[in-house]
Amino acid sequence: MDPSPPPGWGDAPAPPRPDSRVLPPAPRSGVPDPPFGATHERPRLRRGPGLQLLAAFAVIAIGLTALGGGLVALQRFVATAPRGNADEHAFLRQGIPPRWNPCAPIHYVVNPGLAPLGSIEDVHEAVRRVSSATGIAFEYDGLSDEIPGRARGTYLPSLYGDRWAPLLIGWVDPQRTDIAFERNGHTAAAVAAPLSPVAVDDVLVSGWVAMNQHDPNPPGFAHPGDQGPVLLHELGHIMGLGHVAAVGEIMEPSGGAVTDFGPGDLEGLRLLGLGQGCLVAPEPGS
C-alpha cells in the first residue's frame, strides 16, 4: 500500500496573478490550509489512508460473505465506516472566511470534452449536494469549450458577457496544461481554484475545477475516490473549505474514506452558506 500523502501536500502557493488575489500561505502547523486563491490538489484516493481502511473493510466483507452473509457483510461495512463530527471543518482562510454571496445563484459551465461518459450527471449531482448543504442556488449555463488553466480570469466578457465568469468544471490532459497535477510523487485526481476580484478578497466570484483526464477512477459516487466524491471535494474548495485530517470527512486531503460530505464538511458548508446572510458582490470586472 502506498504511503499517505505528507501533511501540507498540495498547498504550494500559486504565482501572483493579475486577476485574483493570492494571500500568503497559512501556517503549516496542524491542519494545513491552502492559500486562498491558490490552485489546490487532491491526490488519487487509492493512495490515501482511506483506501487502507477500505482494504480492511473489504477483507471483513469478503470473509463474512464466504460464511454466507452478504447482508451481514454490508451491515458490518456500514458499522465500521468512518464517522466524522461537526467540528471537523476548516476554511481557506482563518478569521472571516471568503465566501460567495449566498443570495445570488452561482453559475457554472462544464467542459466534458475529455470526460468519461456519465460525467455531466456527476457534476450536476455534486452541485446539487453542495446547493443542499449551503442553501445557495446554482444555475447551469450549459457546455463550454473553455479549458481550465492557471491564468483563467474572473471576468471574461468575450465568452460569458458582462458578468463574473461562471465557475468552470472541465477535464484536462495533465500533459497539456500549466496546472500542476504532479507533486511530491503523487498525481492529483483534480485541482481547483476559487477566485475573488482584485479589489475585494473576501468574496468569491468565480473559479475553476480541473479534472484529470487520466485519473483511473470511474464516474459515479459508489466508492471513495470515484469521480463523484472527487467533484464533491473540489467543489468544497470552490465554496471556501480547506483540508481537515479526519478520514470521516471528504475534505481530508485524499478525500477521506467516504463517498459524500461528512458532518464536519456539512457544518463548514453551512457556515459558508445562506444562513450567514447576503454579501455585496462587487461590480463585474472590478
- d(CA 24, CA 46) in angstroms, rounded, equals 31
Cell of 284: 463585474
| Residue with smaller CB distance to Zn ion, 144 or 217 | 217
Cβ at position 43, least distance to Zn ion in Å: 9
Among 5, 32, 38, 42, binds Zn ion (CB under 5 A): 42
User: In terms of CB distance, is 194 or 197 closer to Zn ion?
Assistant: 194
H helix and E strand count, the chain: 6, 9
Task: Pick the piece of the chain touching Zn ion (CB under 5 A) from 35-43, 114-122, 133-141, 216-224.
Answer: 35-43
Rounded to the nearest whole angstrom, what is the least distance from the CB of residue 44 to Zn ion in the complex?
A: 12
Dist CA 154 CA 142 (whole Å): 18
Query: How many CB atoms lie under 10 A from the CB of residue 202?
Result: 14
As a whole number of angstroms, the distance between CA 206 and CA 197 comes to 9
Residue 129 lies near Zn ion (rule: CB under 5 A): no
Stretch that binds Zn ion, among 37-45, 89-97, 118-126, 204-212 (CB under 5 A): 37-45
Residue with Cβ nearer Zn ion (48 or 273):
48
Query: Minimal distance in Å, beta carbon 237 to Zn ion?
Result: 6
Whole-number minimum distance, CB 29 to Zn ion, in Å? 18
12 CB-side CA count, 13 A: 12
Q: What are phi and psi of 47, to 5 degrees?
A: -100, -5
Nearer to Zn ion, 11 or 267 (CB): 11
Stretch that binds Zn ion, among 42-50, 145-153, 161-169, 181-189 (CB under 5 A): 42-50
| Cβ-based nearer residue to Zn ion, 42 or 89 | 42
Cβ-in-10-Å burial (0-12, 13-18, 19+) of 276 comes to middle
Q: 197 or 225, CB closer to Zn ion?
A: 225
Report the nearest approach of Zn ion to the CB of residue 146 (Å): 22
Residue whose beta carbon is closest to Zn ion: 42
Q: Is the dihedral of CA 238, 4, 217, 85 positive or negative?
A: negative
What distance in Å separates the CA atoms of residue 43 and residue 183, rounded to the nearest whole number? 9
Q: How many residues bind Zn ion (CB under 5 A)?
A: 1
Q: Are 280 and 101 in contact (CB under 8 A)?
A: yes
Residues that bind Zn ion (CB under 5 A): 42
